[in-house]
């Protein structure tokens, strides 16, 4: 495909996002004369904004709360995006079609392997039922997981996900029920994104369970910090964020992403 005319992040809110920092560092390292910018777009304005971006051959990423809506706006999808039913990476193909992909799945897989030192095993508790949760289920499915307890504040969305992913074996009435007997607990909800709320109380976590929070914060989210203090293996979503962004970079430009530059931009911003 042709090189994009511009790169953007679509979401609401987006002012907290680290994506512009590490994507622009990657662009500089690769010598690509583009700027990656964040666009705060309300749901009602998404279709119009995407139409204008496509007409200008822009590419980019999509974050909360637009990943599922973006799926419907794309003319074509990769197999992963089809399986997830959500798009977090997009571009315009040579025939001017808007193409949607989901690099969150690859980001989740890398994060889980880092936290667990290998593939996941046993029961997984998943909190959330949106596009991020669907990406988690696709990643777990690929890893051979067959037992997921799901909880979200929207029972209808939970039921819809369970229909699409047979690895969901139970829909829990609350988070505490979901985490019982879990060896891995994953937060794919927005809990903790804008405050210090926790998706499930630390004292409810089974002994030895690993904790993954897809919400990210330098130094770890409060939930991750509390889990680590209680002896759990735990990580927030920063490794996933960087990896999904690196995979997106490789889709847009057909070359390896400079992951070291991306990480330096986040961890050593003054040096970049």
Catalytic residue list:
67
DSSP string, 182-226: -SEEEE-SSTTSSSS--SS-GGGSPTT-EEEESS--TT--HHHHH
Question: Which tokens belong to 5?
Answer: 């005319």
219: left (phi over 0), alpha (psi -120 to 50) or beta: left
Q: How far is CA 98 from CA 67, 71, 249, in A?
A: 14, 10, 16
**Residue with tokens 């590490």, as numbered in its chain:** 22
User: CA–CA separation, 207 vs 73, rounded Å?
Assistant: 44
User: CA–CA separation, 210 vs 230, rounded Å?
Assistant: 11
Q: 90: closest CA among 19, 8, 188?
A: 8
Q: 50: closest CA among 15, 82, 92, 85?
A: 92
3-state secondary structure of 119: coil
Q: How far is CA 226 from CA 162, 188, 202, in A?
A: 30, 18, 7
């Amino acid at each position: 495909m042709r090189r994009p005319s511009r790169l953007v992040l679509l979401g609401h809110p987006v002012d907290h996002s680290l994506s512009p920092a590490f994507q622009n560092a990657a662009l500089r390292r690769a010598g690509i004369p583009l700027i990656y910018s964040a666009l705060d777009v309300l749901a009602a304005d998404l279709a119009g904004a995407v139409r204008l971006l496509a007409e200008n051959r822009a590419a980019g990423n999509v974050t909360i709360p637009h990943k599922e809506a973006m799926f419907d706006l794309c003319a074509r999808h990769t197999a992963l995006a089809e399986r997830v039913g959500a798009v977090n990476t997009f571009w315009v193909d040579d025939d001017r079609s808007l193409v949607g992909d989901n690099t969150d799945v690859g980001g989740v897989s890398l994060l889980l392997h880092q936290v667990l030192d290998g593939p996941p095993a046993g029961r997984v508790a998943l909190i959330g039922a949106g596009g991020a949760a669907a990406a988690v289920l696709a990643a777990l499915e690929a890893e051979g997981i067959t037992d997921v307890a799901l909880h979200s504040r929207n029972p209808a969305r939970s039921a819809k996900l369970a229909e699409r992913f047979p690895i969901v074996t139970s829909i829990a009435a609350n988070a505490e029920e979901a985490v019982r007997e879990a060896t891995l607990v994953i937060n794919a909800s927005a809990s903790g994104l804008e405050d210090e709320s926790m998706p499930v109380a630390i004292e409810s976590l089974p002994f030895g369970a690993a904790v993954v929070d897809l919400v990210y914060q330098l130094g770890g989210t409060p939930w991750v910090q509390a889990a680590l203090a209680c002896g759990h293996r735990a990580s927030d979503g920063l490794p996933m964020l960087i990896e999904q962004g690196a995979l997106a970079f490789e889709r847009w430009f057909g070359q390896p992403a400079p992951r070291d530059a991306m990480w330096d931009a986040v961890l050593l911003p003054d040096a970049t």
